[in-house]
Amino acid sequence: MFDVIVIGAGPGGMMAAGRSAEQGNKTLLLEKTDSSGKKLLLSGNSRCNITNSCEAIEDFINNFSESGKFLRNAFSVFFNKDLLRFFRKRGLDFKVENNGKIFPITDRAEDVLRILVKYMKDSGCQILYRKEVSDIVKEGEAFEITAKDNSIYSAKKIILATGGLSYPDTGSTGFGFHIAKKLGHTVIKPKPGLTGVILKNNFLKEWQGVSFEDVCVSVYTDDKLIHKDCGEMIFTHFGISGPVIFHMSSIIYEALDSGKKVFLSIDFKPDMKHHELEMLFHEEFENNPAKKISNALKEFVPARLVKRILEAVRLDKDKKLNQVSKEERRRILERLKGFRMTVESVRPIQEAMVTCGGVSVKEIDPKTMESKIVKGLYFAGEVINIDGRTGGYNLQAAFSTGWIAGSVSGD
């Protein structure tokens, strides 16, 4: 009989297991794959964007969806400064990059994982790999856990840290949702979060690889503006990707899922107001009347975009600037400040960075991560219905909820 059994060796599960054992609990970690932290090793392009430098808890929470308010207590106990202190104490330092993203000084996710695994082992946690749990049953005051190899384990308390549905090869297959439902919990429908958007436009391969450090993207459903955001974006073989797209992908998914038609309007020159861009156009046209419109536009957008923008306004690429009418100039400006593209879908949840949805936060005690429905059942990480923007927010949530869940006494 164990005091605590943690299921899942992701960031939240490892932190919970190490913390639980450190508290003196006889702790077991069960992981279905052959090693810990498979998804952690992929984070931040394998560099591990571990957290964000945002200092105020309320500002940090504002980078999550509505249910992120649930994290307020967890962050007040174990926040970014505490997380960095945890790793620095164990020999790993960090650096702050753009938008407050914090990475290990070594740029290696492996170094973060190594410390977490050592923390678990040094604390006395027993770790079993290739132990895929098939069922969990509450027997009186204890839990009986059955693995697929028919081995059985008992514990006074269990911590579900099984992840969501994104990147199933790392072990996140939605098992935790199934068990939570079985034990009486409400599971908010899982959907992809922080993923790319598939567009219907058939010329996208021509634009593949074209990137922007700053564009503004507006989301419309049935000609009604529902969301707008600005940031980095890149065209891909399927459509568009990048942080600004990731942050709105769940909103787009919900709109499509409700049966609405969705299109995006892309402002390629967000740093300039319409009249400012119009003045620049006027100067270009006045100073270079014999210049071809296709060459002139390359001063405003990447060369590979010019052909399709001109096709969209039905303008000959060889037409000289002194031959372009005011109406044609107006149509070009409209495309630069609002190029419309029709959405087909978002990338599947298996490819998403995070899962939106999960165990309802209304049924979890935010001070302990214990179920309000089943005594002795705790949750940590992505299995909970909390999701944030890119920038280290989701990993911090996993570590914080793991720390809180693991701080429980095994008595």
Asked whether the predicted pLDDT for residue 141 surpasses 80, the reply is yes
For residue 410, what pLDDT is reported?
Answer: 61
pLDDT per position as a tens digit, 305-321: 999 999 989 999 999 99
**pLDDT confidence band for 120 (50 / 70 / 90):** very high
Q: Which residues contact 315 (CB under 8 A, 6 or more apart)?
A: 293, 324, 328, 331, 332
Domain 196-347 has CATH 1.10.1040.10: no
pLDDT above 90 as % of the chain: 87
For residue 357, what pLDDT is reported?
Answer: 93
- Please, what is the average pLDDT of the chain? 94
Helix (H/G/I), strand (E/B), else coil: 369: coil
pLDDT per position as a tens digit, 68-100: 999 999 999 999 999 999 999 999 999 999 999
Helix (H/G/I), strand (E/B), else coil: 196: coil
pLDDT above 70 as % of the chain: 99
**Which pTM value belongs to this model?**
0.89
DSSP assignment letter at 404: H
pLDDT per position as a tens digit, 391-401: 999 999 999 99
Sign of CA pseudo-dihedral 182, 185, 189, 191 = negative
What are the Cα distances from residue 9, in Å, to 25, 34, 88?
18, 10, 21
pLDDT per position as a tens digit, 280-306: 988 988 899 999 999 999 999 999 999
The domain covering 2-192+353-406 belongs, at the CATH homologous superfamily level, to FAD/NAD(P)-binding domain (3.50.50.60)
pLDDT per position as a tens digit, 231-256: 999 999 899 999 999 999 999 999 99
For residue 205, what pLDDT is reported?
Answer: 81
* CA atoms of 86 and 80, how far apart (whole Å): 10
* CA atoms of 238 and 45, how far apart (whole Å): 20
- Which residue type does 254 have? E
Residues 12, 380 contacting (CB under 8 angstroms): yes
Helix (H/G/I), strand (E/B), else coil: 268: coil
- Which residue type does 85 have? R
Asked whether the predicted pLDDT for residue 55 surpasses 90, the reply is yes
What are the Cα distances from residue 346, in Å, to 121, 276, 380?
40, 34, 27
> Any idea where the domains of the chain sit in the sequence?
2-192+353-406, 196-347
Structure tokens at 263: 């299109």
For residue 411, what pLDDT is reported?
Answer: 65
Residues 226, 217 contacting (CB under 8 angstroms): no
